[in-house]
């Protein structure tokens, strides 16, 4: 099962390597990883996506929690949450396909961020499934370069 785990950690040198070292050392897998500081520059938020049976996920969250620099660990996929990824795609856009590319981007509510005579660079955000759909559609037109972020995620607020 896929799990999205959110980790608050102290923003100190070497902390990321403690987290990744834990995963490699214990044979856990990381599908994606995203880190940046929070409102408090002393604290970073790390979102990681991993897969495994429940006992492994339990070990992962406990082991993360055991790291001295880790403040909080939440498996946010246990309840409702929103997740986003961003992708930058340079897609071939020649005379016969320029209009079609723009239409596709528009449908996915993407943005063109760089233009050249033969290509567009576009930015798309959304959950994983949407990113995959865009890529599948643009592939036949010709993707020249692609850069993706990992997933970031946030639990939904309680409705009542």
Binding region for other proteins (CB under 8 A): 10, 13-14, 17-18, 21-22, 25, 55, 58-59, 62-63, 65-66, 68-71
Between 75 and 85, name the residue whose CB sits nearer to other proteins.
Answer: 75
Residues 6 or more apart from 23 whose CB is under 8 A from it?
29, 30, 50, 60
As a whole number of angstroms, the distance between CA 147 and CA 114 comes to: 14
CB nearer to other proteins: pick between 19 and 124? 19
Contact status, residue 155 vs residue 81, Cβ threshold 8 Å: yes
Q: Which residues contact 97 (CB under 8 A, 6 or more apart)?
A: 141, 142
Among 84, 74, 82, 72, CA closest to 154: 82
Rg (C-alpha) for the chain, rounded Å, is: 19
| Distance of closest approach, residue 105 Cβ to other proteins, in angstroms | 43
Nearest approach, Cβ of residue 131 and other proteins (Å):
33
Q: Minimal distance in Å, beta carbon 26 to other proteins?
A: 9
Largest CA distance in the chain: 57
Nearer to other proteins by Cβ, of 22 and 102: the residue is 22
User: What are the structure tokens assigned to 85, written together?
Assistant: 């990824």
Closer Cβ to other proteins, 71 or 154, answer by number: 71
Question: CB 62 → other proteins: shortest distance, Å?
Answer: 4
Q: Report in angstroms how near the CB of residue 74 gets to other proteins at its nearest.
A: 15
Q: Which is nearer to other proteins, 65 or 111 (CB)?
A: 65
């Amino acid at each position: 099962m896929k799990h999205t785990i959110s980790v608050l950690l102290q923003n100190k040198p070497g902390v990321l390597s403690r987290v990744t070292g834990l995963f490699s050392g214990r044979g856990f897998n990381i599908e994606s990883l995203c880190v940046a500081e929070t409102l408090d520059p002393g604290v970073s938020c790390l979102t990681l996506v991993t897969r495994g049976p429940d006992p492994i996920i339990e070990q992962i969250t406990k082991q993360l929690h055991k790291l001295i620099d880790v403040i909080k660990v939440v498996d946010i996929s246990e309840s409702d949450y929103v997740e986003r990824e961003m992708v930058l795609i340079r897609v071939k856009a020649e005379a016969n396909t320029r209009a079609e590319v723009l239409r596709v981007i528009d449908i996915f509510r993407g943005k063109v961020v760089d233009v050249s005579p033969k290509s567009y660079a576009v930015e798309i955000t959304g959950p994983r499934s949407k990113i995959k759909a865009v890529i599948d559609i643009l592939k036949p037109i010709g993707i020249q370069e692609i850069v993706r972020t990992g997933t970031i995620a946030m639990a939904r607020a309680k409705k009542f």
